Amino acid sequence: MALTNYTTLKASIANWLNRSDLTDEIADDFIKLTEADFNSKLRVRKMIAQTSFTVDTETEALPTGFLQVRDLYILSGNTKCPLRYMTPSQMDQIKGTSITGLPSVYTILGDTFRFSPKPDSSYTAFINYYKAFDALSDTNTTNYILTTHPAIYLYGSLFHAANFLGGINPQQVQTWQSMFATAMERLEQNDREDQFSGSPLQVRSEDTVRSAFSNNFSTTNT
């Protein structure tokens, strides 16, 4: 069975497990666990997103689907000022000061950014970040992972299903776990190779990416 969408994925999971009693709700749990796994482990170009937001208070919400910062800048006039990351404990050491000004450091607490100094005005921040792949659902029936690397979904779901259902040969469970890891490694390898292939998906060096990222925001705000 071809893995082309959310429905065929759930059917394939049931077929591989030889379980006619596997409900959609249970299969969906295994799929969600697989998505949590690859979103926490993968960092490939298709996950990179850019957005801007206003910083006028000490805390601001993280972007939708946020996983990890690549670059974070604040615009002061025509100057792009990179923000330095601090751990929450480091930020606590400077919390409570009455100093306000252009934020220069940030940390992440739960689903929010926290900035210091507290902004003395309304600033525009630009972020280049890793974003989670869109989850599969009845209304979002496919995504980049399922379209290009369906083995990640299949073997990840089988591995999580085996741990939940029990009664499956431990060697088979290990095989599915290994194939899940191999499928993710293959995606990462393909991503690295595309960086130097000269294809339209080619990724430039970190310095070049940062420069283009900065110039893009400069153009947007001039």
Q: Reduced to 3 states, what is the DSSP secondary structure of residue 14?
A: helix
Q: Reduced to 3 states, what is the DSSP secondary structure of residue 135?
A: coil
Q: Where are the beta strands (DSSP E) in 139-219?
A: none
Tokens standing for residue 116: 């210091």
pTM: 0.82
| HSE, side-chain direction, 13 A CA sphere, residue 162 | 19
pLDDT 10s digits, 106-129: 999 999 999 999 999 999 999 999
Better-scored residue on pLDDT, 210 or 90: 90
pLDDT 10s digits, 46-92: 999 999 999 999 999 999 999 999 999 999 999 999 999 999 999 98
Asked if 157 and 31 touch (Cβ cutoff 8 Å), the reply is yes
pLDDT 10s digits, 133-161: 999 999 999 999 999 999 999 999 999 99
Q: Would the CA dihedral through 140, 144, 145, 150 be positive or negative?
A: positive
pLDDT of residue 13: 94
Query: What is the C-alpha separation between 51 and 42, in angstroms, rounded?
Result: 20
Partnered with residue 74 across adjacent β-strands are 81, 125
Q: CB burial class (10 A; 0-12, 13-18, 19+) of residue 87?
A: exposed
Q: Where are the domains of the chain?
A: 6-44+134-195, 47-131+204-220
